[in-house]
Amino acid sequence: MLDTVFGPVADDEHWYDGLNSYLNALRDVDRSVELVLDALEASGQADRTVVVFTADHGEMAGSHGLRQKGNLVYDENFHVPFILSHPDVPGGTRTEALGSGVDLAPTLLECAGVAPSEIATRFPALGGSSLVPVLDGTVVRQGALSAVESIVTLDASFWFEFADSDASARVQSGALRPDWTKRGFLRAYTDDRYTFGRYFSPLNPNRPKDLESLFADNDVVL
């Protein structure tokens, strides 16, 4: 799909250009964060403010011969930074504890002083778990689930059709549709050692009970 939309990576110089662009994007983010932290210090609020730094996804940047993001189960794609600076907690420590994007809201709520019991009562539909106990070395979750359902990475031939100016009209008329039989939807699970993923067709969502049905209806990666 990326080759279709952005063009192929012709040689190593293209990969190096992509790495340079990504590195400078990170440096630009660092400079912007520094401005925010300096302003927080200047306002006198730094010693009573919780600061969280994270991201929604990673960048393949050439790893595994891939680029950008997409419905992938590689660390480069979904292992994102999560840095929490709390004025009441000594800094400089690291943890291998697992977390997930759904944990962000309950974590921030508890940092703001809302007790877990109150979170459960006031927001019963809120998924995830607060990661605050991780600060004391407590394991919050044994693994993390991933689910991706996106037509963007489902059918490259669909996007190739947009080279023609009438593609939008064909979509509106129903003449142009992705190939829904392709296995581009993802379910995955990650623990402290393994990541397992299975790709399936949107027309065939399945819950395999054994290896035979797993391999029959899914493309798998471990």
Is 7 a member of any domain? no
Side-chain-side CA neighbours of residue 20 (13 Å): 6
CA dist 166 and 114 (Å) reads 53
Flag whether 12 is in a domain. no
The answer as to whether 4 is a domain residue is no
The per-residue pLDDT for 30 is 94
Tell me, yes or no, whether 33 lies in a domain: no
**pLDDT of res. 156:** 86
The model's confidence at residue 153, banded by pLDDT at 50, 70 and 90, is confident
Q: Do the domain assignments include residue 149?
A: yes
179 — pLDDT class (breaks 50, 70, 90): very high
b/e map of 86-103 (b: 16 or more CB within 10 Å)?
A: eeeeeeeeeeebbbbbeb
Dihedral of CA atoms 62, 63, 64, 67 in degrees, nearest 10, equals -40
- Asked, for residue 115, whether it belongs to a domain, the answer is no
- Expressed as residue numbers, the domain containing 147 is 142-221
Place of tokens 């992705």: 178
CB 65 within 8 A of CB 90: no
**How far apart are the C-alpha atoms of 76 and 159, rounded to whole Å?**
25
Number of domains in the chain: 1
Whether 45 maps to a domain, the answer reads no
Residue 134 has a CB neighbour count (10 Å cut-off) of 21
**Does 182 reside within a domain?**
yes
Entry pTM: 0.84
CA–CA gap between residue 22 and residue 30 (Å, rounded): 12
Q: Is a pLDDT exceeding 80 seen at residue 5?
A: no
- State in Å, rounded, how far the first CA of the chain is from the last one: 23
Residues of the chain with pLDDT > 70, as a percent, come to 100
pLDDT digits (tens, 9 = 90+) for 75-115: 999 889 999 999 888 888 899 999 999 999 999 999 999 99
What does pLDDT average to over the chain?
92
